[in-house]
Structure 1
Amino acid sequence: MSPARKRNLVIYIVGGVLMITLPLFAVWMGSIVSGSEGTVISDELQFFRNALLVASAVAAVLLLVLYWHFQQLLSEYLQEKRKVEEKLETYSARLTSYIESPEYVSIFSLDRDMCYTGFNSLHQKEMRLYFHAHAEEGAYIVDLLPQEVRERTVRNFKRALNGEHFSVTSLYNHRYYTQIFNPVYDDHDNVVGLTSNVFDVTDRIQAEQELENYKDQLEELVRQRTAQLEEQSEFFQKIIDNLPNLIFVRDAQSKYVLVNQAMADSFGLKIEEFIGRTIAETHQNAEDAEKFAAEDVEILANNKTVEEESLHKYPDGSEKWLFLSKRRMQIGAEKYLLGVHNDITNLKQTEFKLLEANHELQQTLNRLRATQMRLIESEKMASLGQLTAGLAHEINNPINYVAGNIGPIRRDLGELKEFLISLNNNHHEQSPAVETQNFELLFDELDSLLEGVNEGADRVKTLMNDLNTFSLPEGAKKVYCDVNDSLKSTINLVRHHLKDRIRLELDFGELPDILCNPQQLSQVFLNILNNAIQAITHEGVITVKTKRKDGHVVIELSDTGHGISKEHINKIFDPFFTTKEVGEGTGLGLSISYRIIEEHKGKIEVYSAPGKGARFRIFLPLGSDS
């Protein structure tokens, strides 16, 4: 009940007592007045009595009102009491639930005499299980504990009853338990008892012990690993210190984080004097330092590689050629620049010697090329020598044909001259018809003779052109031409050697122009055709075919001669190899032919067997434009 309601209830009770007392007092006064016989009652007394009676009546009414109001207050009080009791029951149930809900926590409370005032079911169960004791309210807990834990437990209870909050962890029956002690205070802050929570922490303690052991093991492992890393670092440093290469590592700020002994020696510094210093602090040349720092930035940003040679001057005054390779090296999120200098002094010295030797070799090569040109030209001359007799016959025929026609032409021209003179002098005795007929016959004969002269001259011209094409200098440039034209020119040069015993079969396909040296190809064709002619001792056939196939121009020259033996077929392209008698050949024809085809990026193949002739196949690339 609230304080205001308590105050109103007291006022109502006092007022009710007064209202009951006043009527009784009025009645008592009336009895006194009416009991006094013969007594004259004064008007004042009579008025007072009547006033009391009126007051008593009013008091009675008020009393009824107060009684009704008191009944209302009482009803409200009872309702409020029921609500409070319900709340108390709810709070009690919640408290019991709170005490019982942690199934792994033993909870109990004691008064100042260490007697039970409450406990949960787990505490009761554990007291029965571990101490064979029955916990109940009002029981003295010390009597329920084993003798070996009483003294320690009583000491802890007294600490709590003295107002101390604390917890204790102890080992009992191979299990670890933590007990929390809390003093209980009344409204005046006096300790009236204590509460205690006990819970099994064996798993946690064991885990902590294992963690501690693991921590010790981990610390030992860390110490071992640290020692190993230090050993490895020292081992690695010794390895790079024993390398002749100059090795360094710089970070993104161009500061050295690692160098080997060779690198330190090249600057006349100690390794520890390098670490942590920038390029500007280690390099005396400011321009070089600025250049290297800029290269570092670009390498780290774009992951590019820089390689360069330089002549490095050592502190002792010696100089060495170094080849530097710088590249980016990333470890996690950090980027570093790795640089390695290789001593290439011996290589540079060798390079200088090689350059000098190469110069001498180039001069020798030039001399060899000049010699080779002379050999090729001599081979041409040898080939031309073989053609000389036949060419003389080929040239003499048309020249004799021309020379034989010159006399008749002169005679006819003389007759024509006399005829014209006679016409001019008008001394002609013959009839006009006869003179005209003789004139026509004369011109017909002259036309015939001149055609013979022209044919002979053309034959000589063609033969000389072919011979001139073949005999052009070796150094002629490559031009675009038709291979068929070179073949035809070459065949014209050897045709007189065929005579009547060798039949020539030609099958020229349509070919595109290719980039080549016509004179060199003509020499190849001439060498193969000459060999074919010489291989046919009696009658036979030489076949020449050309075609386009698989990006190549293919030239096939075959004969029906005596063929090439197995022991010779692999040597025919060797320089100076020949099966002819001494003085009949140089042995350079097919060797030179093989080189010429190679220079044209082509290839030459030969198929032969004794008694079955030989077939040469030449492949020349068409080129990108064909």
Structure 2
Amino acid sequence: MRVVEQTDDVVMITDPAGIIEYVNAAFERETGYRRAEVIGQSSRILHSGVQDAGFYKKMWDTISSGHSFRALMVNRRKNGELFYEEKTITPLRDSNNVITHYLSTSKDVTERRRLDEQMQQSEKLASIGQLAAGVAHEINNPVGYISSNIATLTRYLDGIFRLLNAYEEAENAIGDSALRERLHALKQEVDLAFLRDDIRALIDESSEGVARVKKIVQDLKDFSRQEEAEWQMADVHKGLESTLNIVHNELKYKAEVVREYADLPLVECIPSQLNQVFLNLLVNAAQAIDHHGVIHVRSGMDGAWCWVEVEDNGKGIPPEHINRLFEPFFTTKPVGKGTGLGLSISYGIVQKHGGRIEVDSEVGRGSRFRVWLPLRQPGSATAEAGEGQ
């Protein structure tokens, strides 16, 4: 038993009905419960609600039939925090081969899961970057010659319209009245005045479309530019605009986006990581709005700090959830609808930048997330240069 008390693995023993009879010291450290609080309690005291009834039915069917059960589970600590653990439950038998107890051993893998999720996010962004580079390579040539052809077509049409204007000026000089009437009737039939205006409008729209394609590709590259995943001086507003374009389809049916930008200097940061923060905040804001609403995106400065905030007029966050928003795996969404990692990862990114995130929310009125960032990173070359001036 001394070995069990000294191991870092969580050990719990229950009777066949799941009533706790023993826990080791690691259980107390991991869950926050004292032994006296859980002995005699059902093991359900740790349930998080993430696993559904079907999961537990499978678990009980397995162990009650005499087989070990292994699974990755999300459980809840005494303070309400969720944590991941790799758990094994083994039936214990007496000399008559009757199950008398269940031995549960587990390891906390929350941090490992968080790092895995961050790695997956990085790999996902890297994949998007590779895709964007490939798309850009493939479409740059056709977009280039379409753009060039539109410009050439515009020059040709300008010449044709000048020629038509000259013909119209010479029309009255035609002595044959029957010919003049036919020309006049033909102009009415083809509606020449309308064609002049509409052709120019079609060309302008085509030019705008080509420019939009170029911008979308560039925004994808700016958003996920992993080859520049290092500290650099960057325009935060450019990152915001790239991210807003990426999530345009997510936002356009849910909210009007109102920009209120201040005049910000370049900020020392890792742009692709900050874009991930902006992405999470914008998507969360859209998902908080049940019908069509408004999302305000603002920026400002205070001394050596700048801030960016995203405010929505959605359903808001209950007060009891505010302090748990940045916990790994915490989510107010239905099971299967959210991982609870978006804000946790965002919090880690902002901390890495030496910043902080402030939250202000009221149920029924909406939420505001403000990201504070230092303009320069402490100890960096740019910060030291600034101090020397």
Q: Which has the larger radius of gyration?
A: 1
User: TM-score with structure 2 length normalisation?
Assistant: 0.49
TM, length-normalised to structure 1: 0.31
Q: Which has the higher contact order (CA 8 A, sep 6+)?
A: 2
